[in-house]
Structure 1
Amino acid sequence: MVDYNEGLQELAELNVDAANDFKLHRPELFCRAFLNPAVKTDAITSNIAETFNGYIFQARTKHLLYMLEDIRGTLMQRLVVKRQAMMKATSILFPRIKAKLEAEKAKAAQCEVIPSSETLFNVNYNLDQLVVDLERRSCTCRKWDMLGIPCCHAVASIYFLGKEPELFVDKCYYRDTYLSVYVGSIPPIQGERHWPVVSMPIDPPPIKIGPGRPRKNRIKDPHENPKKIWFLDKNRD
């Protein structure tokens, strides 16, 4: 909240109208200072929807049955590939989360820890003083609260007690949790040639094709930059 207020004040010094217009857009719905820590994210985006939209981009152009079959086959393979990749991991955390935690460990060396109790600490870092509560898994910077990954201040406090930061990462980032998400599978089905023959016609209703070329690109937000090129990450978890 301190960062938010300072940033808003700097914006008001540059342009009062811009600061007032910003507040009219209800920043409590998208600014990090107001996000619910229970969600375990530090940003509000539609990345998951956009990634899946790009994942089925080619399938959307097909007939309904073939579109669904294409999506089914792709997801069936994805579940197995993701599960096999995580089974090779040796850490108790996701590899990507492990890398983020290692970055916080590197910054923890610059922190000065002053204990108040076995779970409460004052941490001095870059001329700033913060409070770390290991029992509540909370820090003044709110990074640990929001992401579930110990920040550098928390890592320094954990090391002060001689414990491992990996044990203080939220359970949602554990390897076992990841594997439980991908434990299911989509059963294979036979091709159209092997389907049972029925006497009742099951042809789809006629498709009315309107004038012009069919739309393939998504409808963009009115405030989105029309010239910006988006690259979709098909390997995103």
Structure 2
Amino acid sequence: MGHQWKTKLTPNAETHLDFSRRKGRHHIACPIGQYLFEVLSSTNVDIVDLEKKICTCGVFHTIGLPCSHAMAAITKRNYDEYDFCQPWYLTEKYRDTYEEVVLPTLDRSQWQVPPHSLVYIIIAVHVAN
């Protein structure tokens, strides 16, 4: 499947980037520094740091793809938007990952759990509660 893709990023990542690009056109990016921006949207004011790949909206650094605020800042500086995407979204990386056969996992009922592992599971459940 991945060999048929002609885009730089996987299709889902390209879709996200396109959405962010279109939404970002309606934002105003005000430079604070080389990589720092105050981005005004119709509802919020967000701070984007392109160098750290973060935005106060939380999307940029959480998923590793530019949010609309970051896209507004990237466009303001005429940067390449692909430079701000995490490498695991690259079609090439996807192809490399699945180049070898990936065997499916067994059903949970078929798992062989060593007895000493159960102690850690019991402790983890007890601590979580």
Q: Could you say which TM-score interval applies, normalised by the shorter chain? A: 0.7 to 0.9
Alignment correspondent of 2:48: 132
Count of matched residue pairs: 102
Alignment correspondent of 1:165: 81
Matches within 5 A, 1:107-118: 107-118=23-34
Alignment correspondent of 1:105: 21
- Over aligned residues, Cα RMSD in angstroms? 1.2
How far did residue 127 of structure 1 move? 3.3
- Counterpart CA distance in 2 for 1:126 and 1:89 is 35
How far did residue 167 of structure 1 move? 2.0
How far did residue 88 of structure 1 move? 1.8
Alignment correspondent of 1:57: none
User: Which consecutive unaligned segments of at least 5 residues does structure 1 have?
Assistant: 1-84, 187-237
Alignment correspondent of 1:93: 9
- The one-letter code matched in structure 2 to 1:149 is L
- Counterpart selection for 2:65 from 123, 129, 149: 149
- The one-letter code matched in structure 1 to 2:79 is K
How far did residue 159 of structure 1 move? 0.5
Larger Rg: 1
Q: Deviations over 1:113-159 (max 9, x none)?
A: 10011100000012311100000000000101110010000001001
Q: Which has more strand, going by share of residues? A: 2
- The one-letter code matched in structure 2 to 1:170 is Q
- Counterpart CA distance in 2 for 1:152 and 1:127 is 13
SS in 1 for 2:100: coil
SS in 1 for 2:40: strand
- The one-letter code matched in structure 1 to 2:15 is A
Runs of 4+ in 1 over 2 A off after TM superposition: none
- Counterpart CA distance in 2 for 1:166 and 1:180 is 19
- Counterpart CA distance in 2 for 1:101 and 1:86 is 18
Alignment correspondent of 2:108: none
Alignment correspondent of 2:90: 174
- Counterpart CA distance in 2 for 1:110 and 1:86 is 33
TM-score (norm 2): 0.75
Matches within 5 A, 1:64-75: none
- Counterpart CA distance in 2 for 1:123 and 1:112 is 6
- Counterpart CA distance in 2 for 1:148 and 1:185 is 27
TM-score (norm 1): 0.42
SS in 2 for 1:162: coil
Higher RCO (CA 8 Å, separation ≥ 6 residues): 2
